[in-house]
Structure 1
Amino acid sequence: MKLKWKWKQTAIGMTAAAVLLTGCASSKEADGGAASTSSGKPVSIKLHTWNNLKTDGFDVVLQEFEKKYPNIKVEFVSAGDNNSLEALKKIDLAAASAEDMDVIMLPASNYLAQRAALGMFEPLDSYLSKEGIKLDDEYIGATQLNGKTYGIPGKSVSQFVVINEAHMKEAGLTVPQSWTWDEYLDYSKKMTKTEGGKTRYGTYFHTFINFTYLAQFAQMQNAGLVTDDGKSANINTPFMRKSLELRLQAEKDKSGTPYAEVISQKLNYRPQYFNQNTSMMQVGSFIIAETGGSDAVPATFKTVFAPMPTMKKGDPILTPVGGDNFAIYNNSKHKQEAYTFIRWFTTEGLVLQGRFIPSWKKANLEQVVNQIVSKTKTPEMVDKESLLYVLKNSAATKTAVPLTYQAEVDKVMQEEFDNMMLKNQDIDTTLKVAQDKIQKLVDSKNK
Structure 2
Amino acid sequence: MSAIVLASSVLAGCGGNNNNGGNGGANVEASSSSGASSTASASAPAKSGEVVKLKMWGGVPAESGPQAVVDNWNKEHPDIQVEYVRYVNDDEGNLKLDTALMTGQDVDIYVSYTMSQAQKRMESGFMADLGAYGDYNIDEKMGADAANWKIDGKYYGMPTTMSSYFVALNKDALDAAGLDVPKEWTWDQLRDYAKALKQGDGYGFIQNTEPYADPLDSALTKDGYTKADGTSNLDDPLVSKWLETLNAMMYDDKTTPPLGEQLTSKMPVEQMFLSGEVPMLNIGAWLLRSANNFTDYPRDFKIAFAPVPRLMDSAGDYITRGGLGDFISVNAKSKNTAAAWEFLKWYADGGMAPMAEGGRIPASKDADRDAALASMLGSKPETYDRDSLMYVTFEDTTPKFVRSVPQEVVDLRSQEYEKYFLGAQSLEDTLKAMVARHNDYLKQNAK
Q: TM-score, normalised to structure 2's length?
A: 0.83
Q: In the alignment, which residue of structure 2 is the partner of 1:278?
A: 278
Task: State whether structure 2 residue 67 is matched by structure 1 residue 59.
Answer: yes
In the TM superposition, what is the alpha-carbon distance from 1:348 to its structure 2 partner? Answer: 0.7
In the TM superposition, what is the alpha-carbon distance from 1:61 to its structure 2 partner? Answer: 1.6
Find the residue that maps to 1:423 and give its secondary structure: coil
Q: In the alignment, which residue of structure 1 is the partner of 2:80?
A: 72
How do residues 36-435 of structure 1 correspond to structure 2 at under 5 angstroms?
A: 41-54=50-63, 56-78=64-86, 82-127=88-133, 130-135=134-139, 138-139=142-143, 140-142=145-147, 143-194=149-200, 199-208=201-210, 210-212=211-213, 214=215, 216-218=216-218, 222-223=221-222, 226-227=225-226, 232-251=231-250, 252-311=252-311, 315-316=315-316, 318-321=319-322, 323-355=325-357, 356-363=360-367, 367-373=371-377, 375-376=378-379, 378-395=380-397, 397-399=399-401, 402-403=404-405, 406-435=406-435
Corresponding letter in the other structure for 1:280: M
Unmatched segments (≥5 aa) in structure 1: none
In the TM superposition, what is the alpha-carbon distance from 1:339 to its structure 2 partner? Answer: 0.9
- State the distance in 2 between where 1:83 and 1:17 align: 15
CA distance 1:172–1:70, change in 2 (3 Å): same
- State the distance in 1 between where 2:300 and 2:33 align: 53
1:1-59 CA-to-partner distances (Å, cap 9, x unmatched) read: xxx96353544976999999999x99963459xxx9676653111112232222x1223
Q: Which has the higher helix share?
A: 2
1:358-393 CA-to-partner distances (Å, cap 9, x unmatched) read: 2334546555322210x34x3222111111123334
Find the residue that maps to 1:169 and give its secondary structure: helix
RMSD: 3.5
In the TM superposition, what is the alpha-carbon distance from 1:267 to its structure 2 partner? Answer: 1.3
In the TM superposition, what is the alpha-carbon distance from 1:180 to its structure 2 partner? Answer: 1.8
Q: TM-score, normalised to structure 1's length?
A: 0.83
Find the residue that maps to 1:150 and give its secondary structure: coil
Equivalent in 40, 43, 58 of residue 29 of structure 1: 40
- State the distance in 2 between where 1:359 and 1:330 align: 24
Find the residue that maps to 2:374 and give its secondary structure: helix
Does the CA-based 8 Å contact 2:184-2:306 persist in structure 1? Answer: yes
Unmatched segments (≥5 aa) in structure 2: 1-12
- State the distance in 2 between where 1:392 and 1:18 align: 36
In the TM superposition, what is the alpha-carbon distance from 1:439 to its structure 2 partner? Answer: 2.1
In the TM superposition, what is the alpha-carbon distance from 1:293 to its structure 2 partner? Answer: 3.0
Count of matched residue positions in the alignment of Structure 1 and Structure 2: 424
CA distance 1:53–1:88, change in 2 (3 Å): same
Corresponding letter in the other structure for 2:58: T
CA distance 1:137–1:205, change in 2 (3 Å): same
1:147-166 CA-to-partner distances (Å, cap 9, x unmatched) read: 33211113232221101122
Corresponding letter in the other structure for 2:362: P
Corresponding letter in the other structure for 1:262: Q
- State the distance in 2 between where 1:438 and 1:118 align: 23
% same residue? 24
